[in-house]
Structure 1
Amino acid sequence: DDPQFGEPTADKIPGALWIPESGYISDPKLSTHNVMVAAQAKGAAFLYNTEVTGILKKQG
């Protein structure tokens, strides 16, 4: 954790962007795990310590 997270980094802010649908991920590890589980439910396979030699792309 960074104790200065969220603190101002400059005297002036040149602009801003607000996206109401966006959010803050408080637990990136859990979020990544949830994406993995959702992908597996759709048929994705995760192969660790394996060289990628190609990627197949299907419609749908």
Structure 2
Amino acid sequence: MSEWVNDFEDLLHAVGALAGFYCIILFYNGSVKGFEGLAIGFTGIYAIIIALKEHFEHASIH
């Protein structure tokens, strides 16, 4: 693949991880309460796990 495609994929992984951290912060601050807050917190954790998994799979290929 070309270099800019690799850079774009790395950018997407970083954005996914940042979105996950933002979801966890919303849950931790209590901005979203109840079941919705719990769902957002778990979504954040899942987004971080997926972003890291994709990043390391991509790094192992190259």
More helix per residue: 1 or 2? 2
The answer, yes or no, to whether TM exceeds 0.5 is no
The alignment's TM-score, normalised by the length of structure 2, stands at 0.31
Rg larger in 1 or in 2? Answer: 1
